[in-house]
Structure formats: C-alpha cells, structure tokens
Structure 1
Amino acid sequence: MSVWNDMTRTLPDMTTVALAVTDGMLHFELSVAYEVFGSAPDSVDVPWYDLEVCGGGPVRLGRFVLEPDHGLDRLSEADTVIVPGWVDPDVEPPADLVDAVHAAHEAGARVASLCTGAFVLAAAGLLDGRRATTHWAHTDVLAARWPRAEVDPDVLYVDNGSVLTSAGKAAALDLCLHLVRLDHGSSVANAVARRLVVPPHRSGGQAQFVTTAVPARDDHPLTALLPWVLERLDQPLTVEDLARRARMSSRNLSRHFHAATGTTPLRWLLTQRIRRAQELLEKTDDSVTSIATATGMGTATTLRRHFHRTVGVPPDAYRRTFRLRSGPDRAATGVTANRVAVPAGRAGSGSPRPVGPSGPAVGGTAYAD
C-alpha cells in the first residue's frame, strides 16, 4: 500500500488500480481507465498495474452488464482507486460505494474521479477544503451542493496529491495519463498516448504532453520536417527556419502545421522543448542551466519560467518527484503538482497564452511571454 498525503508520496511498489463501479456509471470513463491501466504498451518495459474491477455484484452500464472481480471492500487494499462518471448528479450515489471510497482513502489509497465521479468523492467528504473539478455542465451543482469544495470549472483536472478530479469525457484520458506520468515518467505516459492514438495536441495549457505524431503520408509537407526539428531542439529555431527547411512560406507552414498538429509551429516547438526538459530532468543529473541549453531555451531563467507556467511546478521540484533512479526503483518521495490546466480562451494564472509568429523573441526563438 502506498502512503499519500496532499503534497508528498511514498511509492514503494504501486501496482494495484481498482475501478469502483456500480449501476448507472458512465461506460466511456470506465473504458478509458481500463485502456490506460489494463495493459502496458509493447514498447514499455516496466512493471505495469494490476487492474481490478470492484463492485457490489453484477453492474449494469447502459446496455452492458459487468461482473466485478471483487466487492467494494477490496478498494481499501488498492494503491489507486478510480471512480468513473456518475450517471445522474441529481441522484445520491449508493451509500456502500461512498463508504468504500472513503475507507480506501483513509487506508492510504490515492483516489481519482473521472467526470461526474467527483460527486461520489464529494459525498465521501474527500473534496472538503480541496480544489476540484467535474464536467462543465455540473460544476455549479457540485459547488452548490458541496460548498466546502473549491470547484474550478475552467480546468482539465486537479491534482491534490491523494485526491484527483477530472473534467468531463476526454479529460478523463488527460487525468489517467497524468497518473501514469506520476508513476512512471513522461516517456512511459507518452508511449501509452501513442498506443491510444491520442490527438497530438490539446488546446490549452495542460500539464501533460504526448509525443506529436508525424503525418503518415510520405508526401506530407511535415513528414520530414518534424523529425528534423526534434533533432535540433538545442538550436534557436524560428518559424522562418522551419519554413525554409520545408520549402514553403511561413504562412503556408502555419496552415499545414495547424491542420496536422492542431496548433501553431511555435506552440508545438515550445511543447517539444518542455517535453525534452521533462525527460532530461527525469533521467539525468544535468543542471537546469545545461538542460536549458540542450532544449534551446537559452537560460535557466527562461526554462524555469516556461516550465513552471506549463507543467505547474519548477524544474527542481519536478525532478524530485519524477526522476528515474539509476537502479530498478524510482525515487519514492517528492512533491506532486497541485496545479491544473487552463483551456484555451480562459487565460489564468500560470497558463500559457497562444503564441504566433509575431510573439516576443527570447534567445532567438519566439515564445509566449
């Protein structure tokens, strides 16, 4: 059993993930958790999760009937408990489910809700005094019914350490990938995202990154460009540099880039620099200054500013939490990011703003400031 509080964790052998299910839960969120935690990608060579489905007997999910592996009392033996979306927030969740989730948290489990599963956590008292989110259509109801929770409607997920909540539907995947990243690092989380064919870029300043897919067609204008850029992240590349390499105008490059990746060239480039910094922080002892140089950020100050703004914690704190040990075991303690993502169009404290070719230049490369 792992021991958690809201800022630190002890993670000796975190393997068991329990899905808490009952009649009327949303099968989309359940399937997201099953896909992420059920099996490791072929490219990943780390001990994977032992996934268990726990419920009080056969569970009806829409037109499907699910036979749980264990009863709800099994939740107290899990390292992580996932509570999928609750079908009707206006209906009180079953008392046995609420009690089992509360008991699991008391026993030391990390508890995460997906979508309207936050209502189950609230009923269990886990959101009192904590920041939380849920599907945007139900945030007002959650805030009104549970006034001791600090409900934020403008984020993809909230990580309080031992209690995590996600917004609606696709945000469940964001939170599940975040949990994998907490446990195994960004490289493993990226491999999971690749297997699930996650869209290469989600709008907004989410604190998680997935490897951006290279267009499959050999004749696509970006097929050769993106790998070329990834090999040169230490260089102060500009939109003009990328356009010149792709043999097109900057305007055409931006158009092709947005169509293929869902974002601008500079936003994609900044994402790749931060993702490379994450990997170096996890796997090396390089100084922040050296990593700033290796990722093309120029100075440690620039890296710290953009890293903190995007990931939610400073590089040094990220390293303490996520860094891989040289041996088979990883670092077991650290600070978890009590930080969340701000979707596009809702600029908030610490959220990166959209950046375009005319953005301010830092070290020869344009960044959001």
Structure 2
Amino acid sequence: MPYDGPQPVERQLPTEEARDLLGLTRELAAREIRPRAAEEEDAGCFPRDTFATIGAAGLLGLPYPDEYGGGEQPYEVYLQVLEELAMARLTVGLGTSVHTLACHAVAEFGTKEQRAEHLPAMLGGSLLGAYCLSEPASGSDAASLRTRAVRDGGDWVINGTKAWITHGGMADFYTVLARTGVEGPRGITAFLVPGDAEGLSAAAPERKMGLKGSPTAQVHFDGVRVSDARRIGEEGQGFTIALSALDSGRLGIAACAIGVAQAALDEALAFTAERQQFGRPLADFQGLRFMLADMATGIEAGRALYLAAARLRDSGQPFSKQAAMAKLHCTDTAMRVTTDAVQLLGGYGYTADFPTERYMREAKVLQIVEGTNQIQRMVIARHLAGPETH
C-alpha cells in the first residue's frame, strides 16, 4: 500500500468551537509557520510577526476567561492546539506555552482590579510575556533565588539577575519572582514588570544547540522600580504562585514534546516509504517497521497521558503528579522518537537537508525546561511515597 503522506492527528474535541479552533491552527501552521521554520531556525530568526499573527487569531490567551480577552477554552483543547503549533515549529509552540505561563500569576492570583487592568492587553495578542524564576545559581533549587525586591514607600525596587529566560529581551512583560523576606520558599513574592521598565536589560542571547529562533537570555534588574499595585498575590506567596504555574506549564511542555515527536515520525514515515534498498522500500523491512510502531505507540501514550492530566485540571481536581508524569514521559518519548527518526533516515537524517536533526536537537531541551526530568521523578515519588527523610 503506497504511503500518501502524514495524516492529521485524530483528535477528540468537546465542541464545534474547539474543532473550528483546531482547523484555524492547522491552517496557520501550514501557511505561516511550517514553510519558514527550517530557514529561520537555521538563521536564528525570532518570528515576532508569527506571534502577532497567532495572537490576532486568539491563540495566545486560549485557557483564560473571555471577559478579559481570553478564549475560555479548557486545557484539553488548549494543549492540542499547542501540540499542533509545536509540530509545525517548536519555537512557536514553546513560545506560546511560555506566554501562557507568564499570564498565569495575574489570571489566577491577581485582584479583580489587576485582572481588569492587565489581562486584556496580555491576552489580546499584541503583547508577549516571559517568566522569570530561574537564576544563574538557582535552577532546580528555585527556592534559593537571590533576586531581591525591597519596599520603598509605595514601590518596590528589584535588583538581581534571572537566567534562561525565554523571550528575554524581547518580552513586553515579565512575571518576576523575587525575595522580599526570609530565606527559603516563604520569602518570595511575585511581581508583574513592564518590559520597558527603567533598569531592566537583557544580556546577549545564549548560543544553544537547538531552538535557535527562540531567544533565551539573562535578564538583569538594576534598581527596577515597580508600584505595589504590580505585586501579584500576598507578600511571601510567590513560591506557591510559581509552583501552581509550573504544574500547568509542564503540561504545555508535554504537548510541545508530542508535537515534535509527531513531526519526526511523519518525516520518518515519508522517507522510509520512498527510499528503496535491495529493491524494495525501507518500510517493508520488519526491523524498521517495528521501530516505527514503537515510535507511534510512545506518541499515542504520551498524548493520552497529557490529555488525562488536562481533564483533571479542567475538572478542578489535583493534577500535579499527573503533570509531572506527562512532562517526564512525553519529553523522554520525544528524545527517543527523534533519535530513532535520525537513525531511520541514515546519513540523510544527520544532515540539515532534512528536519530530523533539528527535531533531535530541539527535543533535548524539553527534558530540561520546566523542571528537569530528574525533578519530575522526585515530584512523582513524593506523591507516591511521601517526602524524603533526612
């Protein structure tokens, strides 16, 4: 049976509106995102115009209330849109996930006045956000962060450096976690900082092995002054806010990982159907067919896992353990599938003429961001066996 190209992923969507939304996403991916992906990633071009396009289409505020300009879609729908974006180009999928993460603090913990003032612009598509938690010496141990905010009258003055910030130097607003009190998690507070605040600057973007179109940079806060009206939540509540955002953000990374894995599988299927060896297509050889079957099975299992976690979130049930499981499984699957895709293409897979080598490089970072997969295993184990004893 001849191969007739990759088929759209069959999705279970709850409403006609969600099905239309997915159709719009696929149209934008085919027209605006996928054709430019390889060239712009190779050149390190940040597609700000693409974010403006998908923002105008309403894709940058999908899980948030429509009264503030969001799409009011369940996470079950939002994550499938995210997967489609990442399938076309991870820079766009990951960037959308990060923007959604940056909006979380105001949307979930802001006052009614803060939500009314800030969310319409943040969700409307014209602004792009960044999330500032990690620091040069504070990655997995996020509660040890050193960036400090000191009260000065009705303002706060922020000093310090954040590291590994997606959209660093490009963002219009930053959700910033800074120390305002005692050491440890109880002394951290969240702030919403404008991207053009005086004293805020970004270092040169990091030189990365993948995601070259997505700027990642240190962000410096040198006496950055923000009003107390931009403090999100109570003083000392910042770490709770951060962890809440990360649970949802991990589902975003899981969906992006499955998008990259699906793109790699589609490429491998097309190549092995067309490439002839010993008088027949590669896809006729049982050993290679088994590899393709394992790749597809891992992808379907990952998709089911992140959607199950999303449904728990949508129904208001605890989902932290399932979010960690989804992030762990989906990103490990993406690494395995993209590596196998390179192997199936042989020498061609190792060249930049085919996208498989890019998928493989991009998949690696997904095992690191939003908490390394070692951290995910710690989170899961704590849910299963309780906290570690010392």
Q: TM-score, normalised by structure 1?
A: 0.26
Q: TM-score, normalised by structure 2?
A: 0.25
- Structure with the largest fraction of helix: 2
